[in-house]
A and B are shown apart, each in its own frame.
Chain A
Amino acid sequence: MKTLELKRVSATAAPAPGVREQATVSKYIDTTSCIGCKACEVACQEWNDLPAETTVQLGTYQTLPELTPNLWNLIRFNELDHDGALRWLMRKDQCMHCGDPGCLKACPAPGAIVQYMNGIVDFNQEACIGCGYCMTGCPFNIPKLNQKTQRVYKCTLCSDRVSVGLEPACIKACPTGCLQFGTKTQMLDLAGKRVAQLKGQGFEHAAVYDPPGVGGTGVVTVLAYGDQPELYALPKDPTIPLAVRIWKTPLKWLGSLAMTFGVVGTVLHYLRYGAKKAEE
């Protein structure tokens, strides 16, 4: 029995079978209310039974430089002098659940990446072949390959919780309420109000981050310095990488030819990682 209907399925020409109308769900992140407590980081790990990473103190409050296969959301810290005032910016980084997910487009494994009717982009490790093309397709550098299992992992938006009507673990944990969960319409409304409030407080560039280049995101982010998303380690105008777009549009007719698939995938891999060292 499934409660989340499919909208898109990776590497599948057949249309997704979902017919029920389901509202797009979304996370909301108000970076101006985040205290960087990292409750979301470990709430996610605890809920998903992911092992702790071994870390070292690197001169920052940030847990790790990047996400890992076992750490699906990470608070990014940035301290800077901005307009004559000291700022300590914190943003929760995780899968953005793009409306037009580059990972799904890039994925050659049928059913390994799905998008549900409610907008959640989910990875199915049973179908994942560990090729890492999804990593190339992601403009946010989110999916991470577990070297041991040779599978790629990322935030599921707690699809197991959401499917039974619960909110994601990270959202529930957040003490300050800088994280919220609901329909995307609600979250955009909330974000709009918060941006207006921030502008009233003198943050003239406050803005909502919901980039159109990836079809909008299932994570609505409020930034005090909306004109400089890179201060929060967010790309300014993210789009699906060119190679993925080329493969998925003009060459779409080739999509079911096995050899082409392999070659394009390897090109993508090359673009992302450069020449692969022989390791087997």
Chain B
Amino acid sequence: MDATRRDFLKAGAATLSALGFDLQPAYAQARELKIARTTETRSTCPYCSVSCGVIIHTLGDKSKNVRPSVVHVEGDPDHPINRGSLCPKGVTLKQDIVNDRRLTQVLYRAPGSDRWEPRSWEFAIDRIARLFKQTRDARLREDCNALTAVGVIGGCTDSNENNYLLGKAFRAGLGVIPLEQQARI
């Protein structure tokens, strides 16, 4: 037997408190409900096509001086498909939103460079528009108004409205033919 002094001291101290009437901690509720006063927003899980309803709980009551952040995401019990349940991805959606790996600024990589450099949105939009116009002016196939030298892919986790805008702006407006998304693959 190799009981250490600390074991005895710990156990002894515990027993002493048992002899007294120091039971207060035992009554305390371990944790308050962390979503008791959060703001609830109905949303749809962005992963698979089941489209489970989720409730995003954010800090604060939407009053003007609060900066809401997501504290919890839980299934929407009213949603006819998931009735509150979620898979291991839906259950961890909070980490998809609040994540230290999220991109928070425009990053630019110059030709030949081996690093990202932070830039402003103005720089990015101006430069992208300029490059786009150069390519379009040089490569537009005027016989059928088609631009095949620029491609656009996206939208599998974007709203219908954004999918529609992709087609409207890039194809109907700018003439882009290679417009594709995840559905193909």
List chain A positions with a Cβ less than 8 A from chain B: 2-4, 6, 9, 11-14, 37-39, 41-43, 46-47, 49, 108-112, 114, 122-127, 129-131, 156, 159-161, 163-164, 166, 169, 172-175, 177, 256-259, 261-263, 265-267, 269-270, 275-278, 280
In the complex, the answer to whether B26 meets A173 with C-beta atoms within 8 Å is: no
List chain B positions with a Cβ less than 8 A from chain A: 1-4, 6-8, 10-19, 22-23, 25-34, 36, 72-75, 77, 82, 84-88, 90-92, 94
Q: How far is the CA of A43 from the CA of B85 in the complex (A)?
A: 10
In the complex, the answer to whether B1 meets A122 with C-beta atoms within 8 Å is: no
In the complex, which of the residues B29, B34, B85 contacts A174, with contact meaning CB atoms closer than 8 Å?
A: B85
State the main secondary structure of chain A at its contact with B: loop
In the complex, which of the residues A3, A161, A269 contacts B7, with contact meaning CB atoms closer than 8 Å?
A: A269
Closest to B94 in A: A46
Which residues from chain B contact A127 at a C-beta distance below 8 Å? 25-26
In the complex, which of the residues B17, B25, B30 contacts A156, with contact meaning CB atoms closer than 8 Å?
A: B30
Q: How far is the CA of A130 from the CA of B4 in the complex (A)?
A: 14
Closest to A261 in B: B15
Q: How far is the CA of A265 from the CA of B13 in the complex (A)?
A: 13
Which residues from chain B contact A122 at a C-beta distance below 8 Å? 30
Q: How far is the CA of A266 from the CA of B14 in the complex (A)?
A: 14
In the complex, which of the residues B2, B3, B29, B91 contacts A173, with contact meaning CB atoms closer than 8 Å?
A: B91
In the complex, which of the residues A12, A41, A114, A259 contacts B88, with contact meaning CB atoms closer than 8 Å?
A: A41
Q: How far is the CA of A169 from the CA of B7 in the complex (A)?
A: 36
In the complex, the answer to whether B2 meets A110 with C-beta atoms within 8 Å is: no
In the complex, the answer to whether B29 meets A110 with C-beta atoms within 8 Å is: no
In the complex, which of the residues A14, A124, A258, A262 contacts B28, with contact meaning CB atoms closer than 8 Å?
A: A124
Q: How far is the CA of A37 from the CA of B27 in the complex (A)?
A: 36
